[in-house]
Amino acid sequence: MHNTLNFLSHGGVIATMADTCMGTHASYVVAEGYRVVTSNLTIHYVTTANQNTLIAKSKFIHQVSRTMVLEASIEQEDGKQIAFATGSFFVIEPRF
């Protein structure tokens, strides 16, 4: 985990973990050749991390043909929640 000068987990790294987790999760449910892109990301930092390993988990909140909304949780190995996020994703058609 990348730390700031104050030895705290960098918020940008935590936001990237949440976005990557949700985006990867969303990409598994679209048809072959289609892609997803983030259209909105909201993150809430709950507390600072005091362990070196963080885990990102995501779940679907809403899904229609062209858009998806997911929620992510960033936790330590002991289950302590560090942050949570919501993300909206657009489905992009293949270009040939």
pLDDT digits (tens, 9 = 90+) for 53-95: 999 999 999 999 999 999 999 999 999 999 999 999 999 998 8
Percent of the chain with pLDDT over 70: 91
The region that residue 7 occupies, defined by phi over 0 for left and psi between -120 and 50 for alpha, beta otherwise, is left
Return the pLDDT at 3.
47
Going from the N-terminus, what domains does the chain have, and what CATH number goes with each?
Answer: 11-92 (3.10.129.10)
Q: Can you give the pTM of this predicted structure?
A: 0.88
Q: Where are the beta strands (DSSP E) in 4-80?
A: 35-45, 54-63, 67-76
Confidence of residue 9 (pLDDT cuts 50, 70, 90): confident
